[in-house]
Amino acid sequence: MLQIQINQFLSHLEIVKQLSFHTLDSYKRDLQKFKNYIDEQEVSSWLKVSEHDVRSYVNKERRRGLNPRSLQRLLSSIRSFFNYLADEGLISTNPAHGISSPKAAKLLPKAMDTDLVQRLLDFKPKGIIEIRDKAMAEFLYSSGLRLAELCNLDLTSISIKERSCRVVGKGNKTRDLPIGRKAIQAIRDWLVHRSEFIKEPDINREKALFLNNKGKRISPRSVQLRLAKLSKMRGLPSVNPHMLRHSFASHILESSGDLRAVQEMLGHSDIGTTQIYTKLDFQHLSKVYDKSHPRAKKTDK
């Protein structure tokens, strides 16, 4: 019965909430681990789970070395599950409600400076794989896409003429984004060769913009691996898709100072999420100040 209700909750998240595969997978892993712990305590029903059970489990994971950010996610998954059970009338109170999450240090996003971005992207591709990889990297940096958003793009998602793309982001929210000139050219180059990846052309051919070498929609893991390989080829430390998204945001904010526009382009529902880039921008300004202001320079005694 414990497993059945977890499965029902996951179906609810997929069908009603329309969460992404990766988010669903995180919920599934978190709740499976929690269920295993509850089984060990010989608790036969979610109705019998107490606040003490949840707190003991969290403390056990903390002692095991789980970091604060992961503990926050774990507690969030458990709370959401019990909220669902309460909404369904299966429990009366949420045993995780009174448990506070451990505070995690606010980490600034890792952003590349413009010189490093140019070193990564300014090259002439050799072969169709590199043509595709350059187009994906240019697109990530040009429009600040999330990894899943890039992989979910279809041919119909982009307009070469309008230099724009329509992206379906978190919560199934749609937003329209501009595509930069260099990214448009890289996508043009890719579209010339895209059909070479399709193994069995027919009316039901793959609609995805970016394909793997089997002619299917490219996976997030493949994009990560290809970007890491591209970084190595360009003599750079490993670059991941999130770094290009963060670089896009910080560079736009540095140039424009328009936080609302950056929020819109990134698809953040809460501007508080976007405001972390103002800290990143302030760090940049502080470095410039320390190097240039007469009263900030260090002098030898």
3-state SS, one letter per residue, for 175-200: EEEECCHHHHHHHHHHHHHHHHHCCC
Is 91:47 a contact under the CB 8 Å cutoff?
yes
Check residue 281 and give its pLDDT. Answer: 46
Let me know the angle formed at the C-alpha of 140 by 134 and 142, rounded to the nearest 5 degrees.
95
What six digits make up the tokens of 192?
A: 């010339």
Helix and strand numbers (H, E) in the chain are 13, 3
CATH 1.10.443.10 fits 114-245, yes or no: yes
Q: In the annotation, is 242 catalytic?
A: yes
Is 149:142 a contact under the CB 8 Å cutoff?
no
- Tokens 């949420």 belong to which residue? 94
Q: In the annotation, is 268 catalytic?
A: yes
Q: In the annotation, is 170 catalytic?
A: yes
Check residue 295 and give its pLDDT. Answer: 46
Catalytic annotation, pick one of 69, 163, 170, 182: 170
Check residue 46 and give its pLDDT. Answer: 93
Catalytic annotation, pick one of 12, 69, 166, 242: 242
Check residue 285 and give its pLDDT. Answer: 42
Check residue 146 and give its pLDDT. Answer: 87
DSSP H or E run through 115: helix 114-121
What six digits make up the tokens of 208?
A: 């995805």
Check residue 198 and give its pLDDT. Answer: 82
Catalytic annotation, pick one of 132, 226, 245, 251: 245
Catalytic annotation, pick one of 134, 146, 226, 251: 146
Closest Cα to residue 265, out of 86, 107, 134, 143? Answer: 143
Report the chain (301 residues): mean pLDDT per 10 consecutive residues.
90 90 91 93 91 90 83 91 93 88 60 86 94 96 89 94 86 84 94 87 74 92 96 91 84 63 59 52 48 50 44
DSSP secondary structure code for residue 217 in this structure: B
Check residue 256 and give its pLDDT. Answer: 63
Catalytic annotation, pick one of 134, 194, 251, 268: 268
The helix, strand and coil proportions of the chain, stated in percent and rounded to the nearest 5, come to 60, 5, 35
| Neighbouring residues of 123: CB distance < 8 A, sequence distance ≥ 6 | 134, 234
Is the fold of 2-87 the same as that of 114-245?
no
Domain ranges for the chain: 2-87, 114-245
Q: Which residues pair with 178 in a beta bridge?
A: 164
The C-alpha atoms of residue 91 and residue 98 are separated, in whole angstroms, by 16
The class that CATH gives domain 2-87 is mainly alpha
